[in-house]
Amino acid sequence: MPPKRRSQTNPQLSLTQKDVYQLVRDGIEAAIRAERERVRMEATRAGGPAGGPTTAPMARECSFAEFINCGPTQFHGTEGAIGLVCWFENRENTFEISECAEGKKVKFVTAILYGRALTWWNSQVAILGRGAENGRPWAEVKQMMTNKFCPTEEVQRLEDKLRHLKLSVGSHSRLIFTAC
């Protein structure tokens, strides 16, 4: 059976020049409002592509290869208090240069431990697990390492030595201390 034809036709839209002008104007105003809102949201970072709240973009995190390319020195645990302090200072510089994220610092640093220091770290991991240990803040791991590798008597001996370390040149007394 062939399709039936309708006798009704679509009603003709009677748009005047004024109506067309108003439609264009309304469309332009809506586009301007939407663009202003998009720019405002982007400037305040209050909304994302869907218009909902979002967080600031994550900073680029360094990789282990980038960290190693900065040339961090190994730590063996036999360097003493001064060696440990110098090693900490060098690691802080490496973190800054490689733009290392806080959450990666412990993981990267413990990968360059050797000998006695690595044995100590592995014992810490055995107690709480790798995830818990790598999740520790860098400041806490530094304190743990200081407690382990800087015996109190050595720190006290170095402090005494520093107090008495003076070089007399003529009538001037100067304090000289260069550790790293």
pLDDT tens profile 21-43 = 787 788 888 888 888 888 788 77
Facing residues of 173 across strands? 168
Mean pLDDT of 44-58: 53
Q: Does residue 117 belong to any structural domain of this protein?
A: yes
Q: Does residue 3 belong to any structural domain of this protein?
A: no
Owning domain of residue 37: 21-48
Q: Does residue 171 belong to any structural domain of this protein?
A: no
Tens of pLDDT, residues 75-114: 898 888 888 888 999 999 988 888 888 888 999 999 999 9
Q: How far apart are CA 134 and CA 104, in angstroms?
A: 8
Average pLDDT, the chain: 78
Q: What is the pLDDT of residue 115?
A: 92
Q: Does residue 15 belong to any structural domain of this protein?
A: no
Residues 155 and 69 in one domain: yes
Residues 41 and 76 in one domain: no
β-pair type (166-169, 172-175): antiparallel
Predicted confidence (pLDDT) at residue 172 exceeds the cutoff of 70: no
Higher pLDDT, 138 or 158: 138
